[in-house]
């Protein structure tokens, strides 16, 4: 199974890149599914229903969101009509939307679980590592041996990305990091 992950698409220039480049990537690599992090497509502040539909028209199968999910108010009610837009699963269960989905295409199934880390984050979410076990059986029960379960995660530090891949062997087929926040120190010139 071929999965194309597109990380943190930001603002109009990012949306234009998706519209321009994704058809070429589809032609060259023939992905079975396309998963995109869309939490910053509305000028770096969340996503709107119109922008989500634009990305779905560009052949994106699933849009994952992160801490900017609630920046655009009209997105609250949109979760009820568009299941392919998923928020982090470790948000409180009272929040609109789901944190996982199973999509079908090309005779295959893909389970996507979206998680958000807590390090350096202002959003108060549950620990994704502690929550993963009870949440995974639900999408897993709908997958076959020819299916894949993937977990895009917005984890703020590389150590969490590494820990996630070692943390629970056999939990998923792949893990993808859509955004790793790394602090760079400006180098002084001699």
Secondary structure of residue 21 in the 3-state scheme = helix
Contact 31, 3 (CB under 8 A): yes
Domain span at residue 51 reads 3-177
158 part of a folded domain? yes
Report yes or no on 103 lying in a domain.
Answer: yes
- pLDDT for 114 equals 83
Q: Does any domain span residue 190?
A: no
Give me the mean pLDDT over the 75-82 stretch. Answer: 95
Return mean pLDDT, the chain.
Answer: 76
Say if residue 160's pLDDT is above 50. no
Backbone angles phi, psi at 48, to 5 degrees: -110, 160
CA terminus-to-terminus distance, the chain: 50
Higher per-residue pLDDT: 160 or 62: 62
State the average pLDDT over residues 158-174: 45
Q: What is the Cα–Cα distance from 130 to 163, expressed in whole angstroms?
A: 13
Asked if the structure places residue 87 within a domain, the reply is yes
Q: Mind listing the pLDDT tens digit for each residue in 45-68? A: 999 999 999 999 999 999 999 888
The DSSP bridge pattern shows strands 100-105 and 108-113 to be: antiparallel
* Residues recognised as catalytic: 68
CATH of the domain at 51: 3.60.21.10
Count of structural domains within the chain: 1
- Whether residue 189 is contained in a domain is answered as no
Please say if the pLDDT value at position 8 is more than 60: yes
């Amino acid at each position: 199974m071929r999965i194309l992950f597109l990380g943190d698409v930001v603002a109009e220039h990012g949306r234009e890149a998706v519209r321009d480049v994704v058809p070429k990537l589809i032609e060259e690599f023939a992905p079975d599914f396309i998963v995109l992090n869309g939490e910053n497509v509305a000028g770096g502040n969340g996503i709107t229903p119109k922008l989500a539909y634009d990305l779905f028209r560009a052949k994106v199968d699933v849009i994952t969101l992160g801490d900017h999910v609630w920046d655009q108010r009209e997105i609250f009610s949109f979760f009820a009509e568009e299941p392919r837009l998923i928020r982090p699963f470790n948000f409180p269960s009272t929040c609109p939307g789901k944190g996982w989905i199973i999509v079908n295409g090309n005779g295959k199934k893909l389970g996507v679980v979206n998680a958000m880390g807590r390090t350096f984050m202002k959003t108060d979410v549950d620990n994704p590592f502690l929550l993963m076990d009870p949440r995974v059986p639900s999408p897993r029960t709908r997958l076959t041996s020819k299916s894949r379960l993937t977990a895009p995660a917005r984890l703020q530090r590389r150590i969490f990305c590494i820990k996630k891949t070692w943390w629970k062997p056999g939990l998923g087929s792949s893990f993808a990091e859509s955004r790793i926040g790394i602090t760079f120190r400006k180098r002084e010139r001699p």
